[in-house]
Structure 1
Amino acid sequence: MKSLYPLKFKAQYLDKIWGGHKIKTHLGKDFGKLPNCGESWEISGVQDRVSVVENGFLAGNNLEELIEIYMGELVGDRVYEKFGVEFPLLIKFIDANDDLSIQVHPDDKLSKKRHQAFGKTEMWYVLQADPGAKLNLGFKEELTKEQYLEKFEAGQLMDILNFEEVKAGDILFMPAGRVHAIGRGVLVAEIQQTSDVTYRIYDFDRRDSDGNTRELHTELALDAIDFAVPDSYKTAYETKKNEPVEVVKCDYFTTNVLELNKKLECDIHKLDSFVIYICLEGNCELEYAEGSVSFGKGETILVPAVLEQFFLNPKNGELKLLEVHV
Structure 2
Amino acid sequence: MNKTPLYPIKFTPILKDKIWGGQKLKNILNKNSDLPNVGESWEISDVEGDTSIVSNGSLKGQSLKQLLETYKQDLLGIQNYRIFKDKFPLLIKFIDAKEDLSIQLHPNDELAAKRHNSFGKTEMWYTLQADDDANLIVGFNQEMTREKYLKHLNNKTLPEILNFDKVKEGDTYFIEVGRIHAIGAGVMVAEIQQTSDITYRVYDWDRVDDNGNERELHNDLAIDAFDFDMPDNFRVNYSKTANESNEMVSCPYFTTHYIELDKTLQKENHQDSFFIYICVDGEATIKIDDTSELIKKGETVLIPAAAKQFEISATYAKLLEVYV
Report if TM-score (shorter chain) is over 0.5. Answer: yes
Q: Which residue of 1 aligns with 2:320?
A: 322
Alignment of 1:58-207 (within 5 A): 58-207=59-208
Moved over 6 A (4+): none
Q: Which amino acid in 1 is paired with 2:317?
A: L
The answer to whether the Cα contact below 8 Å between 2:69 and 2:86 also exists between their aligned partners in 1 is: yes
The answer to whether the Cα contact below 8 Å between 1:106 and 1:197 also exists between their aligned partners in 2 is: yes
Q: Which runs of 5+ in 1 are unaligned?
A: none
Q: Which runs of 5+ in 2 are unaligned?
A: none
Determine helix, strand or coil for the equivalent of 1:146: helix
**For 1:63 and 1:183, how far apart are their aligned partners in 2?**
31
1:243 Cα deviation from its structure 2 partner: 0.5
Q: Which residue of 2 aligns with 1:276?
A: 276
**For 1:290 and 1:264, how far apart are their aligned partners in 2?**
16
1:231 Cα deviation from its structure 2 partner: 3.9
Q: Which residue of 1 aligns with 2:256?
A: 255
The answer to whether the Cα contact below 8 Å between 1:51 and 1:62 also exists between their aligned partners in 2 is: yes
- After superposition, what is the alpha-carbon deviation per residue over 1:183-231, rounded to whole angstroms, capped at 9, x for unaligned? 0000000000000111100001111111111111111110101112424
**For 2:184 and 2:164, how far apart are their aligned partners in 1?**
9
Q: Which residue of 2 aligns with 1:26?
A: 28
Q: Which residue of 1 aligns with 2:246?
A: 245
Q: Which residue of 2 aligns with 1:291?
A: 291
Query: Structure 1 stretch 289-298 or stretch 72-81: which is displaced more?
Result: 289-298
**For 2:32 and 2:216, how far apart are their aligned partners in 1?**
31
Q: Which amino acid in 2 is paired with 1:110?
A: L
Q: Which residue of 2 aligns with 1:56?
A: 57
Q: Which residue of 2 aligns with 1:5?
A: 7
- Once the two structures are aligned, what percentage of the paired residues are identical? 53
1:285 Cα deviation from its structure 2 partner: 1.2
TM-score with structure 1 setting the length: 0.96
Alignment of 1:189-228 (within 5 A): 189-228=190-229
- After superposition, what is the alpha-carbon deviation per residue over 1:30-83, rounded to whole angstroms, capped at 9, x for unaligned? 22x111210001000001100000101110000011111100001111111111
TM-score with structure 2 setting the length: 0.97
